[in-house]
A and B are shown apart, each in its own frame.
Chain A
Amino acid sequence: MRLGSGTFAACCVVIEVLGVALFLRGFFPTPVRSSSRTEHQAEPPAPEPSAGASSNWTKLPPPLFRKVVIMLIDGLRDDFVFGSKGVKFMPYTTYLVEKGASHSFVAEAKLPTVTMPRIKALMTGSLPGFIDVVRNLNSPALLEDNVITQAKAAGKRIIFYGDETWVKLFPRHFVEYDGTTSFFVSDYTEVDDNVTRHLDKVLKRGDWDVLILHYLGLDHIGHVSGPSSPLIGHKLREMDSILMKIHTSLLSEERETLVPNLLVLCGDHGMSETGGHGASSVEELNTALILISSAFERKPGDIRRPKHVQQTDLAATLAIGLGLPIPGNSVGSLLFPTVEGRPVREQLRFLHLNAVQLSKLLQENVPSYTKEPGFEQFKMSERLHGNWIRLYLEENNSEVLFNLGAKVRRQYLDALRTLSLSLSRQVAQYDIYSMLVGTVMVLEVLALLLLSIPQALSSKAELEVPLWSPVFSLLFYLMFLVLSALHVIVCTSAESSCYFCGLSWLTAGGVMALISALLCAVVCALAKMFADGKFLSKNPAHPKARWSELDVLILLGTMGHVLSLGASSFIEEEHQTWYFLINTLCLALCHETYRNCFLRDDCEPQQCSHVEEGFVSTAPALRDRSIRCNMLEPHRVSKGPTSLDTLRGHEKWMVLASPWVILTCCRLLRSLNQTGVQWAHRPDLGHWLTSSDHKAELSVLAALSLIVIFALVQRRCSLTSKVAMALGLLGVYCYRAAIGNVLFPWQRDSKDISKGVIEARFVHVFVLGILFTGTKDLLKSQIIAADFTSKTVGLWEIYSGLVLLAALLFRPHNLPVLVFSLFIQTIMTKFIWKPLRHDAAEITIMHYWFGQAFFYFQGNSNNIATVDVSAGFVGLDTYMEVPAMFLTAFATFAGPVLWASHLVSFLSSETSSGSALGHACFCYALICSFPVSAYIILVTSLRYHLFIWSVFSPKLLYEGMHILITAAICAFFTAMDQTNTKS
């Protein structure tokens, strides 16, 4: 079957997406779980150990507190309470921490520092897997054993106000609830007022046992304007007054009932210096945790410094405090200070319960648990505990009893710490089999792509895909049989759960058939290549073309980038790699232009021909040499002298200056958004602009940018879309003004902030309109043959529609990124690609590089925290999953997508060769799939690396998303290519 190289590449990328998806499913493991979830609840609590003597304490101890109020403030970093900000803005809390009846802790959250996994960690005490980030937005109900479910089962009445996530996690658990949605990041007052308005009523009532409040405002402020914004202070003060209100009300109630209540103030995760969260910087991990109760009375001189504990410890503590069984999957240990005031026997009882639960979890997850030091410690302390109970029941000497009790307590605490540590370290098993199948698929596709380079990039841009011969070959059936047998063996013998084995037999068989077919295709291509190679080596008439410097650079750059992915620092600072590469690319282009301009005029004829040869052979880096020569000769020679000679004076100067202009633009963009890890804290223009003092400057900049965008985009649009574009850009400014990012000149201060839904929808309409006009033009060009201009215009309109959408979704301080992107594209088109006549492959790779660099210029990084989630809610009234995800993905990958769509419109406007689009699509697919495949292998080999969760996994998610987007782009390419060949 003959396929165009574009179609072929698109198919390959689609298969690759499947492979990557399978790999991702296997890579992100399901976390450590207690297998006996259902039976656990029925299980009686462990009785007190009592060496010989019979103890009457076999039931769960009674609750320590009558009422528990959990006040969870989203993004409450530890220094917001314990640092200078806390002292300044939270006077009451500071008083409680320093002198009041409270215990304060710095609770360390684990990755990923995103709300839903953190709520789960707080309530179950377990460590949610990384994949919870992805499921963060559509949280299904929590089925694991947790404090809330236990409390409900014990007949406690729970009231909840705050983040809706809770309601989804714990459906039908609350007797009364009011969920607020967290998706309008720019709203930070209403979300909290919605919680606080119920407070007065609820505090007066006595018909509840647990009250949970989840305040989102602080986190929203962090997302919008960072942790150093003045708004943070206001919010903290508000939170402080709410805390005071709750505390005083609880105290006054206690006076009547004489049973202590517990007030918990905690954060779910911290906040990075830029205001985001999701990663593993100290600011994001450390949260404040304060337990306030009159049971924690202290003497005047008793200074309690905030101790460092794990966030997961809270679940066990709450369970003990409420007199509930500790959740089965909890890896936390009891926060001991909370029970310090109780009699020794009760203390030991609590510690024992906790230790039994942890050791049970250990037994279920570690085969050789008896060798674990924590388990041995636990056994020993249990024995000592028994002795102590016997002594206690025999009413022995109080001093001996006291000393032994202290010893047992110390032993227990040590055992708890060791158990908890070794459990948290228990990284869940990777699903190696699924990973392997995914990797094999991806690698086979890559091999196929690499082997078909010579054919695919030939002037016809077509290649013979041996589709039917492998299906009927013996190799295929053998492979299929062997793989199926392997599948059966692996799936029947595997102990751990395996996603791929869980698939239906038909699907698995299909995947196996696909793998064997791909293998056969690879073998075919290899055999063919050998045959061709022999044939070619026989006639040495072909001169060996030399690679130009640009090709060498492109090849080395790609290789170097792929290799750099093996180092965590290079992943964190990947933007540096791309900036470095595009700078070098610009300098190489500069060298090429200068050589062409100066040496052409006055060099000797012989040298001229040398240069000519060097220039003519500018061909893609990855191309096979010998084949390249004979296929390029025909249409290369016809070009004759390069068009540099034909340029007039000032244009020549522009050609010479253009690399420098581009370099300067890139340098400016670089200082707009600092990303990465090491230098992320450096001051940058973006922060300067977004700070509230510089609103006027930001407004001017945004307005200017929008005008320049219009000027750059409109020149090749049809009149309708010009008007639509102008109105759309105006709408973008109105939208930003409506949500309070920028100001109108006649508007002094932005009091009335709305969600800007109407304005955003106005722009959305124009985006759709422009895209529609573009599609219409494309269809027209397809029907009316040889209507070339309308096709060009149509493609450009689609491109400009995407630009308009990006302008809407980008934060206003990022609009210059869009401007510079358009500007660089214009300059490159006019003064570099056209005069220097690069071929499609080179242009494609340059587009890819610039697209990657612009991804980082936008302020993205290989870190989940930098994804601008607010882009997903532009123009939406309520959270709708599909549009929100689409918008967020587009806003994040706007750089690569815009450059790729520019590539399409540029290549199809150049009529020179019909195969350009096919070549470009093939090159794009190849250059995108190369890093993904290499990265999959790297990650597999580095899966026990220390930074696997914080650095490598987010990058893996980004790569997965990138290959998905590449598949979409390649499909678009192919569609355009099809229209090309038809018209």
Chain B
Amino acid sequence: MKDTDIKRLLYTHLLCIFSIILSIFIPSFFLENFSILETHLTWLCICSVFVTAVNLVLYLVVKPNASSKRSSLSYKVTRFLKCCIYFLMSCFFFHVIFVLYGAPLIELVLETFLFAVILSTFTTVPCLCLLGPNIKAWLRVFSRNGVTSIWENSLQITTISSFIGTWLGAFPIPLDWERPWQVWPISCTLGATFGYVAGLVISPLWIYWNRKQLTYKNN
């Protein structure tokens, strides 16, 4: 039971990584002059769309948490709308945090916002898929010892590693190497992406490694 779960987790994560890789290579067939650094904003949009789509599909196919009993259409629609609002709110929330961290307030608004969008894609979208629009559940998952399944555990790891990636991504900005990827917000988005990918890779491995020690109350 547990091993199969971990296997499913691994496959879903591999799919997510695959979607990011696709978002790098597919657009170059359709768009001219596409490259991550030069047309960074386009890539941000495409990557965000890809990752969201894959997450949604996986959510519908794999159904990691038992679906709720009430599944009327209106309930689903309100739930979906709520998710959208949560997503937007998280984008704005991240934008505000970036500005507080020192991102320019007036210039480069679009860049900052798209950065917020991609970070939300890496963190909020999986949370929404897995936990639904439920702040209490989020807080539970992200506090110590609040995890109740390997899915939540992996969610915790990927989200935190995305954040750490973003945080570390800011470090090259003051260096005087004059590289194109040091421009705001490229290094941060790349950091977020690397962090997300690293989280996707690490979490199944970590769970597999610690499968003996991990006991969840609901299982």
Contact = CB atoms under 8 A, between A and B. Distances in A.
A594 B139 contact: yes
Given A580-B101, A583-B101, A666-B100, A678 B143 contact: no
Contacts of A614: 144
Contact of A599 (B143, B167, B173, B176): B143
A599 B100 contact: no
A603 B140 contact: yes
B174 A678 contact: yes
Interface stretch (A51-59, A455-463, A566-574): A566-574
A573 B174 contact: yes
Contact of A678 (B99, B146, B167, B176): B176
B180 interface: no
B139 A607 contact: no
A598 B102 CA distance: 29
Contacts of B176: 568-569, 572, 678
A579 interface: yes
A821 B216 CA distance: 46
Interface in A562-604: 567-570, 572-573, 576, 579-580, 583-584, 587, 594-595, 598-599, 602-603
A223 interface: no
A580, A610, A664 — most chain B CB neighbours (10 Å): A580
A611 B144 contact: yes
Contact of A610 (B99, B100, B144, B167): B144
A569 B140 contact: no
Given A570-B175, A576-B174, A595-B139, A610 B101 contact: no
Interface string B153-194: 000000000000001001001111000000000000000000
B175 A569 contact: yes
Nearest to A584: B167
Interface in A652-695: 663-664, 666-667, 670-671, 676, 678
B142 to A, nearest CB: 8
A599 B139 contact: yes
B68 interface: no
A595 B170 contact: no
A607 B146 contact: yes
B145 interface: yes
Nearest to A596: B143
Contacts of A676: 174
Given A584-B167, A607-B146, A678-B176, A667 B140 contact: no
Interface in B96-136: 97, 99-102, 105, 136
Contacts of B101: 579-580, 583
Nearest to B173: A576
A697 to B, nearest CB: 19
Contacts of B105: 671
Nearest to A671: B105
Nearest to B177: A569
Contacts of A598: 136, 139
Contact of B143 (A576, A595, A670, A671): A595
A598 B137 CA distance: 11
B139 A667 contact: no
Given A607-B145, A611-B144, A580 B170 contact: yes
A676 B105 CA distance: 19
Nearest to B103: A667
B175 A567 contact: yes
Nearest to A662: B100
A567 B175 CA distance: 8
B102 A576 contact: yes
A667 B174 contact: no
Contact of A670 (B102, B140, B173): B102
Chain B contact patch, size range: 10 to 19
Interface in A75-98: none
A572 B140 CA distance: 41
B172 to A, nearest CB: 9
Contacts of B174: 569-570, 572-573, 576, 676, 678
B35 to A, nearest CB: 25
A614 B100 CA distance: 28
A602 to B, nearest CB: 8
A930 B176 CA distance: 26
A579 B102 contact: yes
A583 B100 contact: yes
Given A569-B175, A594-B139, A667 B102 contact: yes
A611 B143 CA distance: 8
A584 B100 CA distance: 10
B32 to A, nearest CB: 33
A663 B143 contact: no
Given A569-B174, A667-B100, A610 B145 contact: yes
A573 B136 CA distance: 40
Interface in A477-521: none
A663 B139 contact: no
A572 B175 CA distance: 9
Contacts of A570: 174-175
A934 B145 CA distance: 37
Nearest to A602: B136
Contacts of B100: 583, 663-664, 666-667
A587 B164 CA distance: 13
Interface in A217-264: none
A715 B144 CA distance: 40
A474 to B, nearest CB: 49
Given A567-B175, A570-B175, A576-B174, A667 B143 contact: no
Interface in A611-634: 611, 614
A620 B101 CA distance: 25
Interface in B66-108: 97, 99-102, 105
Contacts of A587: 97
Nearest to B144: A614
B99 to A, nearest CB: 7
Nearest to A577: B174
A595 B97 CA distance: 19
Contacts of B144: 546, 610-611, 614
A610 B146 CA distance: 9
Contacts of A569: 174-176
Interface in B199-216: none
B189 to A, nearest CB: 17
A402 B207 CA distance: 88
B1 to A, nearest CB: 24
Contacts of A580: 101-102, 170
A663 B176 CA distance: 27
A915 B139 CA distance: 36
Contacts of B143: 595, 599, 611
Contacts of B145: 607, 610-611
B81 to A, nearest CB: 24
A572 B174 CA distance: 9
B133 to A, nearest CB: 16
Interface string A540-567: 0000001000000000000000000001
Nearest to A667: B100
Contacts of A576: 102, 173-174
A602 B102 CA distance: 36
Contacts of B140: 599, 603
A599 B143 CA distance: 9
Interface string B15-36: 0000000000000000000000
A579 B101 CA distance: 8
B135 to A, nearest CB: 8
Given A572-B174, A580-B101, A663-B100, 9 more contacts: A576-B173, A580-B102, A583-B101, A584-B167, A599-B143, A599-B146, A602-B136, A670-B102, A678-B176
10 contacts: A569-B175, A569-B176, A570-B174, A570-B175, A579-B102, A602-B136, A607-B146, A614-B144, A663-B100, A671-B105
Interface of A: 546, 567-570, 572-573, 576, 579-580, 583-584, 587, 594-595, 598-599, 602-603, 607, 610-611, 614, 663-664, 666-667, 670-671, 676, 678
- A-B pairs with the 3 shortest C-beta distances? A573-B174, A610-B145, A569-B175
